[in-house]
Amino acid sequence: MSVQKREDIRNVAIIAHVDHGKTTLVDALLHQSGVFRDNQEVAERVMDSNAIERERGITILSKNTAINYKGHKINIVDTPGHADFGGEVERVLKMVDGVVLLVDAFEGPMPQTKFVLGRAMELDLPVVVCVNKIDRDGARPQEVVDEVLELLLDLGASDEQIDCPFVFASARAGASSLDPDEPGVNMQPLLDTIIEHIPCPEGDPDAPLQMLVSTIDYNDYVGRIGVGKVSNGKIKVNQQVVLCNHHDSSKMVRTKISKLYEYNGLARTEVNEAGIGSIVAISGIPEIHIGDTICAADHASPIPFQKISEPTIAMYFMVNDSPLAGTEGKYVTSRHIRDRLFRELNTDVSLRVEETENADCFKVSGRGELHLSVLIENMRREGYEFAVSKAEVLYKTDENGKRLEPMETVYIDVPEEFSGTIIQKLTQRKGELIGMTPVGTTNTRLQFSIPSRGLIGYRNEFMTDTKGNGIMNTAFDCYGPYKGDLSYRPTGSIIACEAGEAITYGLFNAQERGTLFIGPGTKVYNGMVVGQSPKTEDVEINVCKTKKLTNTRASGSDEALHLTPPRIMSLEQCMDFIDTDELLEVTPKSLRIRKKILDPLLRKRASFKKG
């Protein structure tokens, strides 16, 4: 076997904590490499192609692009930063030969920095550290360099990995430099460092073909598209190949390469063949999955591939059976919902979908609330109507039969004045304070170990408690012993007890009992939650009640009724709010919270039985 190097190629992934500037950095590299015309209008964060990615400013799916620089082709993978999409990061690292670790010059290494860097260390990938946002107020690049070196030592990095180069950049300004005190003028220092320190891919061009599929894309016209790096041999159009899998020895699918693409800028370009080190996309193979190896037809030899981390949280997706069912959605049947959920598995490797005893209900498991909320939002926008239950964590049992639950490490940066409230709230949710350190002059960083279920429904409360000044980051830690029962919500619901349209008079009487979620003219039904009661028990109110006509015409008896504006909640806020005996009704136009049992008499009987 003669191993050769492809000096003209570099394969690199950009990894970082959420919001440290990965996608903005890729923007700058694309602009300066001449991918776009000088007069071409290009949106910011051009790699975030999904509508939800653009609205929320987060990356959900890893994306491939390529630039040409000084005779080298640099294949770049932009990865997500949120812990919920960690499955995306885990698998694309098998496709690259090194990583650019991006760290915010003010925040320094954060939980997800540790997670993604740990994955890169496990695969023994060389690291180039880029300290980004050096033009930000309060930037402290020299201290951040020390913190990154400490993190590398904590993760057991080798001498070569600790001796990694540091580049200082402002991705927004499109500038980089090797000196933190020099602002730099372009991205050339970073690109030169990538060429110099990220090794070129190696392989045997004369060996039988081996290509590991690390990512799956999906297109309505061509179906599944497998993306991966050619490890050995050559891949050609019309070549006979076999599809096999390291974790599934029974998989042996004989097929043919019908379409082959390479990345060039943001486009996929059709090619006839590709050699070792090339990152290619293949369409026309419906059976292709992440972790499969495409091998020469006469030489099936799968490449080892780590199993993706298991989901930690689950929700039930079900057919909407409320009195308003089918009035707003285009796809409402169990067949529609089932097909859509199983189609999501084509591209989302961290998701699990299971059928239940009830044909109208499906158990969907993911890596976190954000992971599942993005799926719900996508389905909403596509015209689906359905109901979802409260998120619940997935438990395990150890060899002694003891119950284990997922634990998370939470890092919270807040102004000092709010730290007491945060500690009190998280302690009530079975959290344990591990560390408390000052950050800057006014902020404190709190570190907690807490069960995943203790964080369900906490984010909105956290934003209220810190008046929007707090930053909360979480990372999955391990499965630990069950911490005991936990009540999700200390307050009750205000429930409509009659069907119809909400009337100002009825709402005026109801608002004295708590915070309302609806305004006049909203359609309601018996069992629908229309507000939040400050008391622990639920309150039933007729919001459709009209004022009785009388002969009284006394002064002041017919004054205008003033309603407090209702609290309009987002999808995440609704998911956080609902309790275990409630459902969230999701349609393209509305989000309605309702009781699982609509009939008040049956609801009381059920609560007595439970009690």
pLDDT digits (tens, 9 = 90+) for 255-274: 888 888 888 876 778 888 88
**What is the predicted pLDDT for the residue at 86?**
53
Distance CA 278, CA 260 (A): 11
Q: Which pLDDT score, from 0 to 100, does residue 518 have?
A: 92
pLDDT band (50, 70, 90) for residue 337: very high
Stronger pLDDT, 487 or 144, i.e. the higher one: 144
Integer angstrom CA distances of residue 469 from 133, 413, 481, 521, 591: 20, 9, 33, 36, 28
Please answer whether residues 276 and 231 qualify as being in contact, where contact means their C-beta atoms are separated by less than 8 angstroms: yes
Cα angle 254, 255, 256; round to 5: 145
Query: In the predicted model, is pLDDT for residue 37 greater than 70?
Result: no
- Considering only residues 281 and 348, tell me which one the structure prediction assigns the higher pLDDT: 281
Mean pLDDT in residue range 37-54 = 40
Topology of the domain comprising 318-389: Alpha-Beta Plaits (3.30.70)
Asked if the model's pLDDT at residue 250 lies above 60, the reply is: yes
Sequence-ordered strand ranges (E) for 140-278 = 166-170, 175-177, 202-203, 210-219, 223-232, 235-236, 240-245, 248-256, 259-264, 267-270, 273-274
Is residue 586 over pLDDT 90?
yes
DSSP character at residue 311: P
The predicted pLDDT at position 41 comes to 39
- 119-125 long-range contacts, Cβ below 8 Å, gap at least 24? 119/89, 119/90, 119/93, 120/13, 120/15, 120/93, 121/155, 121/156, 121/157, 121/161, 123/93, 123/94, 124/158, 125/93, 125/96, 125/97, 125/98, 125/99
The answer to whether residue 464 scores a pLDDT higher than 50 is: yes
- Name the percent of the chain lying above pLDDT 70: 88
Mean pLDDT of 166-184: 84
Res. 348: pLDDT tops 60 = yes
Q: Which of 139-145's residues contact partners 24+ apart within 8 Å by CB, and which partners?
A: 139/105, 139/106, 140/105, 140/106, 140/108, 141/105, 141/168, 141/180, 142/180, 143/108, 144/103, 144/104, 144/105, 144/108, 144/109, 145/180
What is the band of 39 on the pLDDT scale with cuts at 50, 70, 90?
A: very low
Residue 546: pLDDT over 70: yes
The closest alpha carbon to 134, from 99, 179, 100, belongs to 179
Report which of 85, 160, 64 is spatially closest to residue 373, judged by C-alpha positions: 85
Please compute the mean of the pLDDT values over residues 399-423 and round it to a whole number. Answer: 87
Is the CATH number of domain 204-296 1.20.120.350? Answer: no
**Fold designation for 4-202:** Rossmann fold (3.40.50)
Pick from 606, 577, 610: nearest CA to 594: 577
Q: Which residues pair with 268 in a beta bridge?
A: 263
Cα diameter, the chain: 102
Which of 61-70, 322-331, 599-608 is modeled with the greatest confidence? Answer: 322-331
Q: Yes or no: say if 280 and 230 are a contact pair by the CB < 8 Å rule.
A: yes
Token digits for 149?
A: 């070196």
Domain regions of the chain by residue span: 4-202, 204-296, 318-389, 396-481, 492-548+563-580+595-610
The chain-wide mean pLDDT, for the chain, equals 82
pLDDT, average across residues 30-34? 70
The b-or-e profile of 220-235 (16+ CB within 10 A means b, else e) is eeeebbbbbbbbbbbb
Write out the CATH class of domain 492-548+563-580+595-610. Answer: mainly beta
Contacts of 452 (CB under 8 A, 6+ apart): 312, 313, 393, 405, 406, 407, 408, 476
396-481 has CATH 3.40.710.10 classification = no
Question: Identical fold at 204-296 and 396-481?
Answer: no
Say how many Å lie between the first and final Cα of the chain, rounded. 71
Band of the pLDDT at 591, cuts 50, 70, 90? very high
How many residues make up the chain in this entry?
611
More confident residue, 460 or 304: 304
Region 539-559 average pLDDT:
70
Could you tell me the two tokens for 42?
């290009």
Q: What is the pLDDT of residue 44?
A: 40
Residue 371 three-state SS: helix
Least confident of 180-189, 335-344, 500-509: 180-189
DSSP letter, residue 276: T
**pLDDT-based confidence at residue 295 (cuts at 50, 70, 90):** confident
Hey, what's the torsion of the CAs at 385, 310, 50, 95, to 10 degrees? -150
514-544 pLDDT, tens digit per residue, is 999 999 999 999 999 999 998 888 899 998 8
Kindly state the average pLDDT of the residues 19-24: 70
For residues 447-462, average pLDDT: 84
Check residues 465 and 305 and name the one with the higher pLDDT: 465
Give the residue ranges of DSSP H helices in 179-261.
Answer: 188-197
Q: What is the pLDDT of residue 38?
A: 42
Model confidence pLDDT, tens digit, residues 98-147: 888 888 888 888 767 777 788 788 888 889 998 888 888 878 888 888 88
Could you give the CA distance from residue 326 to residue 334 in angstroms, rounded to a whole number? 12
Q: How far is the CA of 597 from the CAs of 537, 604, 605, in angstroms?
A: 16, 9, 10
Q: What digits encode the pLDDT tens for the residues 58-103? A: 434 455 788 888 888 888 887 765 554 555 566 778 888 888 888 8
Of 47-56, 286-295, 565-574, 588-597, the one with minimum mean pLDDT is 47-56
Contact 92, 214 (CB under 8 A): yes
